[in-house]
Structure 1
Amino acid sequence: MGSAISLRDDFDGAVLRRLARASGSANQVRRLLSLAEIYDGGSRTAAARIGGVSLQIVRDWVIRFNARGPDGLLDGKAPGKPSRLNDAQRRALVEVVERGPIPAIHGVVRWRLIDLVQWLHDEFAVSLDATTVSRELKKLGYVKLTARPRHHAQNEQAMEAFKKGFAAELAKVKSTLPKGTPVEIWFQDEARIGQKNKITRRWARRGTRPSAPKDQRTKSAYIFGAICPEQGKGAGLVLPFCNTETMALHLIEISLAVAPGAHAVVLMDQAGWHTTDKLDVLANISLIALPAKCPELNPVENIWQFMRDNWLSNRIFTSHGNIIDHCCEAWNKLVDQPWRIMTIGRRKWARRS
């Protein structure tokens, strides 16, 4: 019979009992007290009796304790079944998810778990179920998200060039102003709110499909909104049309919201009523056009989404006047929350140094 394995000599029975009193793990306490019995000169049989285990398991505890000290007597997490995907296969899975499906080849316009199951089988002859693929994707940092809309003709290079060149555009405006004039950066846009309203997501029990009221009538109004994210300010009007005359009214509203003695640089898209020479631009305002087909550059788009999701959707508007009332209420509620404007509206590329 082989000799018993000796315990490491940098601990003793008193130390292990003290550690047992401080431990929050019942299993570690049991193992510490068993090994304390051996340190105090007791037999391995007595140690096994204290631990309620066999001599072989006491021997395993001794090996773990000698290797890692008291931490070696804590319960470890069971390793479970090894993954059936190797690192190369995971990298390939990430690449195909990022690239997305090719409808003509894969027959779908977005990846479903069942499609990825089939792809893994076709590429690597690995048979997994949808639950396992979902678990692998979550480990890789992927979750299901709603895609944001992007104009099909958008020029991403133009977007990046605008952001990089905005400081120079701002400097040009400053050069035309008296030295020391404070400059406020504003963003402007319009949103149509009508009886054909949006239905937003909501919490519901799994397996059910909640309902929400939906109108088919066509009365509508427009919120003309502008925000100054750095100062949490907003200027808005609710108007019946989008044209040069209503845009001029909004510029007057923005002009009134600019701090006395300051100058507003207003960024907006290239709608016809924004760029026409017939538009009267007040002295304390300069206009800068955003690149075409790039609504992502305008944080007012995010303001509209927030207002629809929280205050304006899932409603039935009974009349045109009712639409106007709710639009005014929603905009005033936003202006009363300057921190909301700051949080949603700030863009690093537009912040003044």
Structure 2
Amino acid sequence: MPKKVELVNHLSAEELKAAYRSSQDAIESRRWHLLWKVATGWTIKNSALAVGLEYEYARRIVKKYNTEGKTAVINKKKAVNRQGRTALLDRQQLQELAAALKEKPADGGLWTGAKVAKWIEEKTGHKKVWSQRGWDYLKKSNYSWKIPRQKHRKGDPQAQSEFKSELPEKVRQMQVRNPGATVELWFMDEHRVGLKPIIRRTWTPIGSKPVAIVEHRYEWLYVYGFVHPQSGRTHWFLIPRVNIEWFNLAIASFAAAIEVSENKKVMLVLDRAGWHRSPQVELPPAIELELLPAYSPELQPAERLWKLVDEPLVNQHFETIDRLEEVLSKRCCILAGMTEEIHNLTAYHWLPAA
């Protein structure tokens, strides 16, 4: 049986755990993790395997910690960049930068690598700091370049929270009303696409600039998407417009496709569009509608389908709506087989397993 090493009691196991979880440096974090494992009775060999370190390296870290204490964990390379020069900002200045990034920059716009570089120049007195170094310090401050998730101004957070907490009970009650039947929870939404180009970022070889042919024309069709998040199953319909008549046809086609019956019921969640709520909507007996809170697209898993639907249309030019429909038809057939990807994209953690 491998011999367990004894750690000198510089820090308790709980303190080592706290240091591991709070560390912002990847190398130091892994070293703290190793020491925490050893402190809880693991062998050095098993601890090294668990945290992804070589045994000899792990053994040296433990030995150094026993003789030097906390200083043995410090990543001495982090204060020096790849060219061997000292870091532009010390620990105190990094904290000041983190505080500055929480506010608008001096010009009232958005932080960029160039603006952070300028901030570093003013803070440190360096004559010239390149924009790339500003970008590096944005990343070092745990910032990344993201597009904000949209949230409607009129959305009611309380109503949204209640919807998420009450949906499992509503599914359960539907199951109670239909003993012996299978109850599935589906979501549905509509997506408009047309001859107006969709322009997005794309990977291209360095040194070349992608070009997209554009011609803005306003001719549309709609993708009706139904998704069962727990399995990733989908059903798709390409329809020329949105209204009650077409919605009734889509619902009837969906019901036939998944073979609803007395033994298979569906709760279908959708938004509050007028053609969804109209008294003229003709629902198959085995389908019940559940409406999302107003202005709450973030609660609709089907909304996440559209970026997958759009992929073959991005940066492309289509002469006619018929050609666009042909490409979309092929795409929907492909998406119908991408159940794992769609499950991972749409199975929100708060959804019931139905």
1:140 positional shift? 3.1
What corresponds to 1:111 in structure 2? 111
Does the aligned pair in 2 maintain the 1:220–1:323 contact within 8 Å? no
What corresponds to 1:195 in structure 2? 195
What corresponds to 1:85 in structure 2? 89
Measured against aligned partners, the alpha-carbon deviations of 1:261-289 in whole angstroms (never above 9, x if no partner) come to 21111111111111112111111111111
What corresponds to 2:14 in structure 1? none
What corresponds to 1:21 in structure 2? none
Does the aligned pair in 2 maintain the 1:232–1:338 contact within 8 Å? yes
- Does the C-alpha gap of structure 1 residues 119 and 267 become closer, same or farther in structure 2, counting only changes over 3 Å? farther
* Cα distance in 1, alignment partners of residues 190 and 157 from structure 2: 23
What corresponds to 1:56 in structure 2? none
Does the aligned pair in 1 maintain the 2:187–2:302 contact within 8 Å? yes
- In the alignment, structure 1 residue 343 sits paired with structure 2 residue 344: yes
1:253 positional shift? 2.1
Does the aligned pair in 1 maintain the 2:113–2:138 contact within 8 Å? no
- In the alignment, structure 1 residue 224 sits paired with structure 2 residue 209: no
Does the aligned pair in 1 maintain the 2:175–2:182 contact within 8 Å? no
1:321 positional shift? 2.1
1:1-353 → structure 2 map (5 Å cutoff): 80=80, 81-97=85-101, 99=102, 101=104, 106-108=107-109, 110-119=110-119, 129=129, 130-175=131-176, 177-206=177-206, 208-258=208-258, 260=260, 261-308=263-310, 310-352=311-353
The amino acid that maps onto 1:85 is: L
Does the aligned pair in 2 maintain the 1:270–1:289 contact within 8 Å? yes
Does the aligned pair in 2 maintain the 1:158–1:291 contact within 8 Å? yes
The amino acid that maps onto 1:320 is: I
- Does the C-alpha gap of structure 1 residues 315 and 184 become closer, same or farther in structure 2, counting only changes over 3 Å? same
- Does the C-alpha gap of structure 1 residues 291 and 196 become closer, same or farther in structure 2, counting only changes over 3 Å? same
- Does the C-alpha gap of structure 1 residues 207 and 234 become closer, same or farther in structure 2, counting only changes over 3 Å? same
- Does the C-alpha gap of structure 1 residues 91 and 282 become closer, same or farther in structure 2, counting only changes over 3 Å? farther
* Cα distance in 2, alignment partners of residues 161 and 88 from structure 1: 44
Measured against aligned partners, the alpha-carbon deviations of 1:156-197 in whole angstroms (never above 9, x if no partner) come to 44333322222223233333x221321111110111110002
Runs of 5+ unmatched residues, structure 2: 1-63
What corresponds to 1:53 in structure 2? none
* Cα distance in 2, alignment partners of residues 164 and 120 from structure 1: 47
What corresponds to 1:59 in structure 2? none
Measured against aligned partners, the alpha-carbon deviations of 1:105-149 in whole angstroms (never above 9, x if no partner) come to 7331x2122333455667x56658333332222223322223343
- Does the C-alpha gap of structure 1 residues 218 and 158 become closer, same or farther in structure 2, counting only changes over 3 Å? same
The amino acid that maps onto 1:217 is: R
* Cα distance in 1, alignment partners of residues 185 and 168 from structure 2: 11
1:88 positional shift? 4.8
Does the aligned pair in 2 maintain the 1:258–1:264 contact within 8 Å? no
* Cα distance in 2, alignment partners of residues 78 and 161 from structure 1: 47
The amino acid that maps onto 2:162 is: A
Q: Secondary structure at the match of 1:106?
A: coil
* Cα distance in 2, alignment partners of residues 336 and 78 from structure 1: 47
Q: Give the TM-score taking structure 2 as reference length.
A: 0.68
* Cα distance in 2, alignment partners of residues 289 and 126 from structure 1: 59
Runs of 5+ unmatched residues, structure 1: 1-63
- Does the C-alpha gap of structure 1 residues 136 and 157 become closer, same or farther in structure 2, counting only changes over 3 Å? farther
Measured against aligned partners, the alpha-carbon deviations of 1:282-334 in whole angstroms (never above 9, x if no partner) come to 111111111222212212221111221x2222222222322322222211111
Does the aligned pair in 2 maintain the 1:194–1:323 contact within 8 Å? yes
Please give the root-mean-square deviation of Cα atoms over the aligned residues, in Å.
Answer: 3.0
1:86 positional shift? 4.5
* Cα distance in 2, alignment partners of residues 324 and 136 from structure 1: 46
* Cα distance in 1, alignment partners of residues 241 and 346 from structure 2: 25
Task: Identify which range, 126-135 or 292-301, moves more after superposition.
Answer: 126-135
- Does the C-alpha gap of structure 1 residues 89 and 263 become closer, same or farther in structure 2, counting only changes over 3 Å? farther
What corresponds to 1:19 in structure 2? none
How many percent of aligned residue pairs carry the same amino acid?
A: 24
The amino acid that maps onto 1:250 is: A
* Cα distance in 1, alignment partners of residues 118 and 174 from structure 2: 57
**What is the number of residues matched between the two proteins?**
275
- Does the C-alpha gap of structure 1 residues 78 and 345 become closer, same or farther in structure 2, counting only changes over 3 Å? closer
* Cα distance in 2, alignment partners of residues 154 and 96 from structure 1: 30
Q: Give the TM-score taking structure 1 as reference length.
A: 0.68
Q: Secondary structure at the match of 2:350?
A: helix
Does the aligned pair in 1 maintain the 2:117–2:133 contact within 8 Å? no
1:243 positional shift? 0.4
Does the aligned pair in 2 maintain the 1:113–1:133 contact within 8 Å? yes
Task: Identify which range, 315-324 or 236-245, moves more after superposition.
Answer: 315-324
The amino acid that maps onto 1:295 is: P
